A and B are shown apart, each in its own frame.
Chain A
Amino acid sequence: MTNRVWKWGAGSVAIVVALAVFIVPFAFIVFTAGKSQSEAAALEFNLPTEWHLFENIATVLSNRDNLLVTAFVNSVIVTVAAVAIMVVLGAMVGYVLQRRKSRWNPLINAFVLAGLIIPPAVVPTIWTLQGLGLFKTVAGLVAVHVAFGLSFCILLFRSFVATIPRELDEAAVIDGAGPISLFFKVIFPLLRSVIVTVIVVQAVTVFNDFTYALYFLPGDENATVQLTTFNYISQSVSAHNLLFTNVLLITIPPLIMYIFFQRQIVAGMTSGAVKG
């Protein structure tokens, strides 16, 4: 009996609280994005009297020579390139690190942990990027994301490779597979589920990144979406409807990822909990 009271009572209270605490702020984004400029300026939480959402989206996208469109293209390029490189290189390291017992493993493991914990030294990183001619380039930002994100990928791949039986490697070697085809033709396809997890988690991280874009790809013309949205604050304080349309647009890609890959995101982000 108490169980049913708990189930319905506590559940409904929680839903009401969640609506107020979590849904209302997001509804505020959508509502404000749908208002006209004068209506949005009141900063009130209510439905727009007339929806201007598509108008606002068109304005935001075409503003200043399609700046936001360029930024979206940049963000997508950075995300896809960085994640692709991270997955392949991270899988290679995680695989060899798990399979091969070597004196260097403790050192490599320490580096992996350091990569997770230590805050990157930003200005010296700019200095190295400048030395390579990559500062303020999309390629430079990709490389930085790869360098900072590899540790997380390696950890996930290493623990997943441990679940693949070694006999499989041995069988492939007996069948004449070299190291490269062993990895890319036998092991890599078996990593599929963890690859999806890594792709989704890192894609959201890279796409949402603001700090590194601010340091390594600064400016306005050739920036990523997070940066142009940030710059938008200073340029048009009064046009709240356009500001929130902008916020809404950059929230949609992670939302889509979440809808399709909820399970993988949760698995990836909570992976630390079980092994401690």
Chain B
Amino acid sequence: MSTATAPRRQTESPGAAPGGTARPPRRRKTHSPYPTWFHLPAGVFYVVLFLIPTIASFYFSLTRWTLFDVEFIGFDNYVRFFQEQQLIQSFVNTFVYAFLTSGAKVVLGLLLGVFLSSQIIGRGFLRSVVFFPVLVSTIGVGILFEVLLDPFDGPVNETLAIFGIEGPGWLTDPNLALFSVAMVDIWAGVGLATLIYIAGMVAIPQEYFEAAKMDGASAWHSFRHITLPLLQPATVTVVLLSLIGGLRRFDLIWTMTGGGPGFSSDVLASVVYKQYQAGFFGLSTAGNVVLFLVVAAIIFPLSWWLNRKADDR
């Protein structure tokens, strides 16, 4: 399909004449002011570096593939993927990580968005401060928190020690590492969710709140029956963006824990990199296909359902 799109696009103009039914017939041979070939340069990048690799990944995931040769081995890579404990763990971790970060970003983003839309002092300052981590590189954030969360003399645990609490090994305890990274992810990403909610709040006409107040609605009722339903589009955006990001997350986890200790904070994306590094290209690509299927199986139905719900209103 990939190779066929480009030539088909080119032949579209002359071929469209007999097929056009609803539209006025296009002047033959003269050029439309909107040339189809405008799609072509972008299409080349997309097809060569995104579409072809994606389609090829399905084939390569069925092979034992090194730099030098390719050997077809059927579904062995997938079987292996769901037999080895560490690989299953990464599969489960991907979901835990994505749903945890996404859920927290929705809840915190909503609360912060509503709060930062109310009349308080220092509002502009607060908005800027909450948003800024979004722009700091993941490497910077990762290194920063790796040091802050150091189990022995990291500032976080030293602060806890002042209150007599013995801080855990945030990134060295296998039961905790994934959650610590997720917390940092939330810290860095909540600003974006907040801003999306603020943009949604701005779009709600102020009269609604005034009318509700006239009718004696409490603050909670206004929030529950006006703010929340009218913020639905913002919620859809936040859920989808953060789930897509969370399921694909690699850089933060890789910087902070490298998937460790052991394999306790491995996710699909980090397994893909580890197997690639180890030279198991086929297994790595199988991991990529699994990730692809997970993302597609969650995001497409979810976006369809969420958007339909938004339209029903």
The one of B140, B146, B300, B310 in contact with A251, judged by C-beta atoms closer than 8 angstroms, is B140
Q: Is A199 an interface residue (CB 8 A)?
A: no
| Closest chain A CB from B267 CB (angstroms) | 11
Q: CA separation between A125 and B121, bound complex, in Å? A: 50
B9 within 8 A of A: yes
Cα–Cα distance between A257 and B299 once the two chains are bound (Å): 32
Decide: B12 and A104 in contact? CB cutoff 8 A.
Answer: yes
Interface size on B, residues (CB 8 A): 102
Q: How far is it, in angstroms, between the C-alpha of A274 and the C-alpha of B133 when the chains are bound?
A: 23
B138 A210 Cβ-Cβ under 8 A: yes
Binding site of B, secondary structure by majority: helix, strand, loop or mixed? Answer: helix
**Residues of chain A lying within 8 A (CB to CB) of residue B232:** 276
Q: Is the interface of A mostly helix, strand, loop or mixed?
A: helix
Cβ contact within 8 Å between B60 and A143: no
Of B23, B33, B38, B146, the contact of A93 (CB 8 Å cutoff): B38
Partner of A102, one of B12, B135, B234, B292: B12
CA–CA, A127 and B187, complex, Å: 36
Within the complex, what minimum Cβ distance (angstroms) separates A179 from chain B?
Answer: 5
**Which of B76-84, B171-179, B244-252 is the contact stretch?**
B244-252
In the complex, the answer to whether A117 meets B296 with C-beta atoms within 8 Å is yes
Q: Decide: B23 and A101 in contact? CB cutoff 8 A.
A: yes
Check B122–A14 contact: CB distance below 8 A: yes
Count A-side interface residues using an 8 Å CB cutoff.
98
**Could you mark each residue 275-313 of chain B with 1 if its beta carbon is under 8 Å from any beta carbon of chain A, else 0?**
010000100110011011001100110000001001000
Kindly identify, within residues 77 to 132 of chain A, every residue whose CB is under 8 Å from any CB belonging to chain B: 85, 89-90, 92-93, 95-97, 99-104, 107-108, 111, 115-125, 127-129, 132
**Contacts of B9 on A, CB cut-off 8 Å?**
104
| Contact string against A for B residues 197-237, beta-carbon threshold 8 Å, 1 for contact and 0 otherwise | 11110010000000000000000000000000000111011
User: Do residues B285 and A123 form an inter-chain contact, with CB atoms below 8 A?
Assistant: yes
The 10 closest A-B pairs by CB, nearest first: A276-B233, A121-B57, A11-B120, A11-B121, A147-B49, A124-B53, A208-B137, A89-B42, A100-B34, A272-B237
Residues of A that sit less than 8 Å from B by CB? 3, 6-8, 10-12, 14-15, 18, 21-23, 25-26, 28-29, 32, 42-45, 85, 89-90, 92-93, 95-97, 99-104, 107-108, 111, 115-125, 127-129, 132, 143-144, 146-148, 150, 154, 169, 173, 178-179, 182-183, 204, 207-208, 210-211, 214-215, 226, 229-230, 233, 240, 243-244, 247, 250-251, 254-255, 257-258, 262, 265-266, 269-270, 272-276
